[in-house]
Amino acid sequence: MALEKVVEVDQIEVKGDYSIQVRQATKVLDDGKQIGGVSYHRHVVHPDMNWSSEDAKVKKIADSLFDADCKEAWYLQRNGYPSGDPSDSWSKAQLGKYCSSHSIDYNAMNADGQGGDSKAELLEKIEADKGE
Please state, rounded to an integer, the average pLDDT across all residues of the chain. 93
**CA-based end-to-end distance of the chain:** 69
What value does the mean pLDDT take over residues 18-46? 95
Query: Residue 1 pLDDT > 70, yes or no?
Result: no
For 5-18, what is each residue's pLDDT tens digit? 999 999 999 999 99
CA 89 – CA 128 distance, rounded (Å) = 19
Mean pLDDT of 106-127: 86
For the stretch 44-81, pLDDT in tens is 999 999 999 999 999 999 999 999 999 999 999 999 99
DSSP character string of 54-121: S-HHHHHHHHHH--HHHHHHHHHHHHSS-SSS--TTS-HHHHHHHHHHTT-------TTS-SS--HHH
